[in-house]
Amino acid sequence: MWYRLCNFCCFLQKVFFRLCSGLPTVIQVLCGLLYFATAPVVADDWTEYRSEHFIVFTDSPADDARQYLHHAEQFRQVLSHFMPLHDSISLKLVLYSNNSMFRSLVNQELAGVLLPPSDDEQFMLLDATREQRLQNAGLHHLYTQYQLQDSGADYPYWFRMALVELLSATRLEEGKALVGVTNQMARGTESQLIAIKALLQLHRASHTNEQRHHLWALGHFLLLGKLAGATDYTAATVKYLRMRREGESDDTAFVTAFGKSPEVMSSELNAYILSSALKAAVVPLQPYDGEVAIRVLPDPEIQLLLGRIALLANQPELAVQHLQKIPQGAAGFLPSQQLLESAALVIQGRKNALNNAAQPGKNAEKQQVLSSRITELERQLKQKPQDVSLLAELAGHYKQLAVLAKDASQHQKRTQQAIDYAERSLKLKPAQQDMHNLLYVSYKSIGKREKAFVHLKAIQQVEPENIMLKLSVGRFLFNDRKYQQALPYLKAAENYAGCKALCQQDLADKLKKIQQKAGKS
């Protein structure tokens, strides 16, 4: 209804503007100001759609949203032929039919973006204007990326990129999908010799557009080659990936799995390309006939959703605009105040960063002060190696240095030093909540989830009746797919009044997923 009203307002404004066009210049300027002053805000009609594996929030018309949801379910079928898939209940697709709203969050000319995960959920923002919706390359690219990330497997970077590039151009047709569709990727490899060894050594910051073309061809060769009558390297690829996860070097894993060197395989790959084998493979598809649950979002929930997304997209000012539209005391939407506080902190952090940039020596001065203090504490520690307070203080100072670190390697090094001192302190005095908390945050920040969980559990055991700590433990276990272990913690929070506003729908999703898992086993 609101969408139609906005369109009608736009129509009246255009008529008004045209009537003003014959008037003197000053009057036209005043008409123009009135036109912009009365321009309707972006339509706030948002609806939630749920299928078996996807949750979609969108301002698109119902038919478009359903079509997108069915397309997502079918692409998931395609992806399942290439890798084991995981539960994506925490992934939420946000489809923007309003391009200006989408571009306020995504500055680059991208069809979509995967926002950083927040606790146990992740948002994928997609341009759902007609042109992008028909291509769906953004969905294919980002969903493949999400599943690779969500799998928990440490896939080599070249394999991640090869699979993403190979599947991005997938075309869905009636009852089938065309994978490895010939496009600019294929054309980019026709006159070039590819060296596999160089591709195996790629990392995130190093690949060029030409190497993307090469990765596409390598993915085609390894995963689709058997369909073109070439050697079937699927099992060898799986073996190679398993050996890499177990810690083998690239050279050893490659030669052992494929039975030949990267140089010999490069000759085969180039011959494969010259034989015009880079053609689309057909993957059979079943139509998605599952139920689609639909729910129109009330306005406070819309503003809360858009505010959270804006904050995750590093647009805190926009987040504040949305969150301030939620009426004070709106039932069930108390977290808007927490998010407002978070947004305010981010905005203040930006101001601080600008101030630091204006005073380039400020961070260096802080680091120097911390380093001097650390030197003094470490001198004292040599005389009192069992002093718990010295160890704890050193852990805290190294954690601060990690925050001030200029790059990832320095951050990792300082974080590890903080961990070492905190662990030593805990061995001497186990009941230190601040050290458990430091270790939980530190281990989590460097991807060591199992060790992080040990300290989260220790924090929770000190306050066994704290419902929010139980919820944190349950979410952590759920994200690690330890569903039955997560169940009692999540059930404890299910009817907690303080949690309803923050996480009731999230809890319902998780408990439903655990029940589904139990039914299948």
Query: What are the tens digits of pLDDT across the range 246-292?
Result: 888 888 999 999 999 999 999 988 888 887 767 788 889 888 888 88
Asked if residue 497 has pLDDT above 70, the reply is: no
Q: What are 284-325's pLDDT values in tens digits?
A: 988 888 888 899 988 888 888 888 888 888 888 888 888 888
Q: Between these two residues, 417 and 476, which has the higher pLDDT value? A: 417
- pLDDT, residue 79, reads 92
- Strand partners of residue 57: 48, 94
Q: Which of 317-331, 429-443, 485-499 has the highest mean pLDDT?
A: 429-443
Kindly report the three-state secondary structure assignment for every residue of 53-99: CCEEEECCCHHHHHHHHHHHHHHHHHHHCCCCCCCCCCEEEEEECCH
DSSP 308-358: HHHHHTT-HHHHHHHHTTSPTT-TT-THHHHHHHHHHHHHHHHHHHHHHHH
- Measured distance CA(138)–CA(110) in Å, rounded: 8
| Identity of the amino acid at 352 | N
Q: Between these two residues, 293 and 520, which has the higher pLDDT value? A: 293
- Measured distance CA(289)–CA(77) in Å, rounded: 13
Specify the DSSP class assigned to residue 139.
Answer: H
- Mean pLDDT value across residues 125-139: 72
Domain ranges, ordered by start, for the chain: 2-37
Q: Between these two residues, 163 and 471, which has the higher pLDDT value? A: 163
Task: Look at strands 91-96 and 122-127 and give their pairing.
Answer: parallel
Percent of the chain scoring above 90 in pLDDT: 17
- pLDDT, residue 294, reads 92
